[in-house]
Chain A
């Protein structure tokens, strides 16, 4: 297609990759990225190193501001999309601005998942998805020496390593749901616990957190099914869920993420979804799968952009690489590395 105005919602790897392709292949078009965070895209896997003080926050960014100016990609940061009107082909921003588009790529990624029983304690727990989260960790850790990690996803393991480097006392509750959408099996759980213990982490036998009470800025009381402890900070790490809540009433087909065909197109013409927020149809398994991971996101962003420009590329993922867990099909780029 020869769309003049491309809008990308999401400033992560999928959105940035899509923008780069659109600019390269369609030099005369207008390309705009909306990012809800106030800073440009960064490498989230470096956040634990920021907390550990090994990497300066200034050095986590993927591209400098000048890149976007040189490429004439409009990067609108700190501007949250509130709704999309697909019939009028308009994006509505939280600050009450209407932006029309010819082509749209939704690449909003994921947000930290808090399992339902723990949602009530959401304000007491820290997560680690954004640079802002990292700053909160830095602030809190400056006032305390002990941390409880609940969960067990990859981020939590990286963070634990950082905390140990900082000399903090780390408690850990390994939760079976933590690797959503992958559940721990016994072998994996045992292996993780053993590795944590080797590093000096105190792995608690508890499996259920009953109550979290914020006693002060530097103290949280944790009541589990078998003990009660006090720590300075509690972190929750249960993987990510697609960040698509704002689209629920937009008319898009949404299950866990946005349902798209093998070309990443939604049910609306010239509207695509890519990255962690998409559930992609695979004609071989005749089902949708979710994509997780930095490299997957970039690949999907690239494919979405090329297809919007008229290609008809399908996402290449062999059925063997797709896990079926809890009824959800999952493709991860980092799973094998782990």
Chain B
């Protein structure tokens, strides 16, 4: 069967049902056995007008990134969709409302800005929905019906998804939506009979465990629940809020609680308090909220209290670009805050890892008694992938708390200077132990001690502890494993998906390239990273930030300067952009 790799976009104004339509495409294609990666972009304003776009990349093989070319554009608002026209493939397809409520000028028309070769499928979306269901509200479903008919998608997949989505709203609402879909489907079959393209016909559905559509944020929520999270403290902020929403539903039935705090400072304070008392707790925020938390995070470092903090990065600095993606909190996550406050920072690269890393973060926090920061980004948080239902093994869920044995009773050193820096931690209520949590520099017993010798020794202990965490952290993963490489590309976070696809494409072109995935940001596996770098003549690190945060952190490991590709466009880096940079560097176009 021919390889399928199709990108579908739905574009409309807030309120057009754009996001819902895109979600149904993802669900339907997932049911049909395809790999799906979906991502929505929407306006920063909480209410009102603005452009919504959903991107769905649908493939017969595993997908790691979004592409920068669209094959199918479904326009629910032509004025808004004009901005998507440049991204259409030369032979792309456009579904649009051919009978809008009023005449539009050429300056407002989508059809007026399409490149020659793009195929137009005009359908009276609103009329079809109104005639079929008595209301134009289902016009997005009529559009989906047309899309399914023309592209050769089994309509029952969509009917199933529509049923799942609207069943709870009662038979009348479900019927209206099904009728709207069917009206669009029938219209397209009748009117475009000679223009059906069958983009998606003939895929065998994978047998075995059924995949589920999961967003990065949902995966984080599920990971936290599975890890035994008891208390979530947070303050809403894009793009982290869906984690709190997920947990608000999922946690109480498991005996946990979600508490909305007055701000991010209170949130991290509450997390430290709960963790101090022995309860697994976490918070999630974004750049601006993370900035507020930094002082108390360093308190967690100094007092050696476990804490899980998820930083869902977005465009910055300050309020920045609330609904755009960026990877510009890395330096703040690793270095932010007063003093030498080393902490653990990890960064998943896909939805499955969002789950896995969240589970892991609780183990790390408890074993190393320190804040663990999980760095995600808007694209990773909000994208959906169809994945096998995530689950953890007993070992992965095991608590790794290091507690003192009874022999220490009466002479308990809360901050004992051990070889790996990990001091057995007594929880409040344990008989015969003292319980301190101080932000002041302290002795091994926890008493304030500002002497030069002690500060030197305890600083070394805390940093030794963080370094020792390397044994439990995910090692860098090298793809392709060649002995000689002209250019090695290193990626982290959601950008790694683009790095992987770009290197795969470059290799298909015969270029000697390889890829390295780094998920443990701090501490990092210097030896492994250096080994990779040393077999590569050149190193390229693409990042969604302006300053080259990862390159700044690990660039010194290479024997010459690393090359950087830094974009802050608010969108994921398309693999094609990285491929171009690879070709430029390898062909000697280095300045």
* Residue ranges of A at the interface with B (Cβ–Cβ < 8 Å): 38, 40, 65, 68-69, 74-79, 92-100, 132, 135-136
Contacts and interface: CB of A to CB of B under 8 A. Distances in A.
10 contacts: A74-B116, A78-B119, A78-B120, A94-B98, A95-B122, A97-B112, A98-B104, A98-B105, A98-B106, A99-B106
A135 B194 contact: yes
B119 A96 contact: no
Nearest to A39: B119
Q: How large is the interface on B (under 10, 10 to 19, 20 to 34, 35 or more residues)?
A: 20 to 34
B98 A92 contact: no
Given A95-B99, A135-B194, A38 B111 contact: no
A68 B114 CA distance: 12
B172 interface: no
A64 B111 CA distance: 20
Contacts of B195: 38
B116 A132 contact: no
Contacts of B117: 40, 65
Given A38-B195, A40-B117, A74-B116, 15 more contacts: A38-B119, A78-B122, A92-B103, A95-B111, A96-B98, A96-B99, A96-B100, A96-B103, A97-B104, A97-B105, A97-B112, A98-B105, A98-B106, A99-B112, A135-B194
A79 B103 CA distance: 15
A95 B119 CA distance: 15
Leading 6 A-B pairs by shortest Cβ distance:
A65-B117, A95-B98, A68-B116, A75-B116, A97-B109, A78-B120
Given A95-B111, A97-B112, A77 B120 contact: yes
Contact of B115 (A38, A69, A99): A69
B96 interface: yes
B90 interface: yes
B102 interface: yes
Nearest to A34: B111
Nearest to B90: A65
Contacts of B104: 96-98
Instruction: Give chain A's interface secondary structure class.
Output: mixed
Contacts of B97: 95
Contacts of A75: 116
Given A69-B116, A95-B98, A79 B111 contact: yes
Contacts of B194: 132, 135-136
A79 B119 CA distance: 10
A94 B98 CA distance: 7
Nearest to A132: B194
Contacts of B115: 69
Given A38-B120, A76-B111, A95 B102 contact: no
B571 to A, nearest CB: 25
Contacts of B96: 95
Contacts of B100: 95-96
A322 B114 CA distance: 42
Nearest to B99: A96
Interface string B109-143: 10110111101101000000000000000000000
Contacts of A78: 119-120, 122
Contacts of A65: 90, 116-117
A313 B271 CA distance: 86
Contacts of A136: 194
Nearest to B114: A76
A65 B106 CA distance: 22
A99 B106 CA distance: 6
A98 B116 contact: no
A96 B119 CA distance: 18
Nearest to A75: B116
A4 to B, nearest CB: 13
A3 to B, nearest CB: 16
Nearest to B115: A69
A29 B109 CA distance: 20
Interface in B330-380: none
B103 A98 contact: yes
A136 B112 CA distance: 30
Contacts of A96: 98-100, 102-104
Interface in B74-116: 90, 96-100, 102-106, 109, 111-112, 114-116
Contact of A97 (B90, B111, B116): B111
A155 to B, nearest CB: 19
A78 B95 CA distance: 12
B409 to A, nearest CB: 82
Contact of B103 (A38, A74, A97, A100): A97
Nearest to A133: B194
Nearest to A73: B116
Contacts of B106: 97-100
A8 B120 CA distance: 19
Contacts of B109: 97
B34 to A, nearest CB: 27
Nearest to A80: B122
Nearest to B119: A38
Nearest to B118: A77
A85 B116 CA distance: 26
Contacts of A68: 116
A68 to B, nearest CB: 4
B98 to A, nearest CB: 4
Contacts of B116: 40, 65, 68-69, 74-75, 77
A100 B97 CA distance: 21
A91 B514 CA distance: 56
A132 to B, nearest CB: 5
A264 B195 CA distance: 36
A320 B13 CA distance: 63
A98 B111 CA distance: 11
Contacts of B103: 92, 96-98
Nearest to A130: B194
A77 to B, nearest CB: 7
